[in-house]
């Protein structure tokens, strides 16, 4: 065996280290340990007992994270390091990619053999997506809404997930109400002025009557990362009809989607391109979601009789790739509905 083998082995195992570490950080959040440690140093036996965890196994888990410098252990006392404390804002990305899609990655070979779509944890996907949106999609939708002729009286979120996105959108508005539509919608509202319907967006719009007098100009519909789902599961025609139905009901439709550019070197050389969008693009090859390009969506909106009032991208301080795109749509004059 040559002397360089060990060094090459260490390098070759870095993806395995990253795999285990991503799981470890996700479960640090998911177990409740992170919240407890964020309050200050904790004694492992007492903290484990209060969370219903096995103390011996928890100690071994915490030791693993201490070896990665996210925690510091001194006897039975554990604390978050500066590196560990800095993880807090990024919890939603772990909830989405590790919690929501861990099982998806395990099914890559089966999917490559054509054995249907990979599964995912829809509840955690919704939780992670809504949490992430507080940094990118939520401010983006607020900017789109600022381009409306007047502030809306109500918002219909056609893919609301756990409802936190919609709650954040209407929070502090005083008079704006919201309706959240999603198969995983919460049973109880997280905020006043909101109600939820457990339904798919296309079914809801099909059953909901459009106002006889035309679109309700005081209402806006929202489709954040929804059209990609409908496109793969129900086809292009269903997306066209969804856009038409939303605009028959409301004066405007706000859409947020991700521009599909996995073969663009400019994107893939970007730090966030490799850290987030490269695995994100891969997931959409495997699941019942279909990403498309900015040009594709613009053409589809045209077919649906919609006009793009404004197009915006996420705050570059959060995401400077320009890949997360928001569109504010209204009905095009003279277009068939």
Q: Tell me what pLDDT residue 170 has.
A: 86
Domain at 93-331: CATH architecture: 3-Layer(aba) Sandwich (3.40)
- Is the domain spanning 5-86 CATH 3.40.50.1970? The answer is no
Do 178 and 194 form a contact (C-beta atoms < 8 A)?
yes
Within the chain, where are the H helices? 5-12, 14-30, 33-38, 44-50, 55-67, 82-85, 91-94, 102-105, 108-112, 122-133, 137-146, 164-170, 201-207, 227-234, 236-249, 265-268, 271-272, 278-286, 294-303
Q: Tell me what pLDDT residue 174 has.
A: 61
Q: Tell me what pLDDT residue 128 has.
A: 92
What per-residue string of b and e applies to 48-84 under the rule 16 or more CB within 10 Å gives b? beeeebeeeebbebbeebbeeebbbeeeeebebeeeb
Q: Tell me what pLDDT residue 300 has.
A: 98
CB hemisphere CA count around 80 (13 angstroms): 18
The string of pLDDT tens digits covering residues 261-284 is: 999 999 999 999 999 999 999 999
Q: What is the CA angle 287-289-293, rounded to 5?
A: 130
**Domain segments of the chain as ranges:** 5-86, 93-331
Q: Tell me what pLDDT residue 172 has.
A: 61
Do 306 and 330 form a contact (C-beta atoms < 8 A)?
yes
Tokens describing residue 58: 């928890």
**Cα 159 from Cα 254, distance rounded (Å):** 12
Regions of the chain with pLDDT less than 70: 172-175, 190, 209-213, 334-337
The dihedral through the CA atoms of 73, 79, 81, 87 has a sign that is positive
Q: Tell me what pLDDT residue 335 has.
A: 61
Q: Tell me what pLDDT residue 74 has.
A: 95
């Amino acid at each position: 065996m040559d002397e360089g083998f060990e060094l090459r082995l260490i390098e070759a195992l870095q993806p395995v280290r990253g795999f285990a570490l991503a799981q470890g950080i996700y479960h640090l959040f998911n177990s409740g340990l992170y919240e407890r440690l964020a309050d200050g140093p904790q004694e492992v036996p007492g903290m484990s007992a209060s969370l219903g965890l096995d103390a011996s196994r928890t100690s071994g888990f915490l030791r693993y994270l201490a070896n990665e410098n996210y925690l510091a252990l001194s006897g039975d006392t554990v604390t978050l390091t500066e590196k560990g404390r800095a993880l807090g804002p990024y919890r939603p990305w772990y909830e989405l990619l590790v919690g929501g899609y861990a099982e998806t990655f395990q099914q890559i070979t089966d999917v490559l053999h054509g054995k249907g779509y990979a599964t995912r944890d829809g509840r955690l996907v919704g939780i992670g997506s809504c949490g992430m949106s507080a940094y990118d999609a939520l401010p983006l939708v607020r900017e789109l809404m600022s381009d409306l002729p007047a502030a809306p009286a109500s918002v219909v979120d056609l893919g609301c997930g756990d409802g936190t996105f919609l709650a954040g959108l209407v929070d502090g508005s005083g008079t704006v109400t919201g309706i959240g539509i999603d198969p995983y919608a919460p049973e109880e509202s997280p905020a006043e002025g909101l109600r939820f319907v457990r339904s798919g967006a296309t079914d809801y719009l099909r059953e909901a009557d459009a106002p006889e007098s035309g679109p309700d100009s005081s209402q806006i519909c929202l489709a954040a990362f929804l059209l990609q789902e409908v496109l793969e599961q129900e086809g292009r025609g269903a997306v066209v009809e969804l856009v038409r139905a939303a605009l028959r009901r409301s004066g405007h439709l706000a859409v947020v989607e991700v521009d599909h550019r996995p073969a663009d070197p400019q994107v893939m050389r970007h730090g966030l391109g490799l850290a987030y969008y490269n695995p994100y693009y891969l997931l959409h090859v495997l699941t019942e979601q279909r990403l498309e390009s900015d040009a594709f969506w613009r053409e589809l909106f045209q077919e649906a009789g919609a006009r793009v009032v404004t197009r915006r991208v996420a705050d570059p301080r959060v995401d400077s790739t320009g890949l997360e795109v928001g569109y504010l749509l209204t009905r095009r004059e003279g277009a068939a509905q």
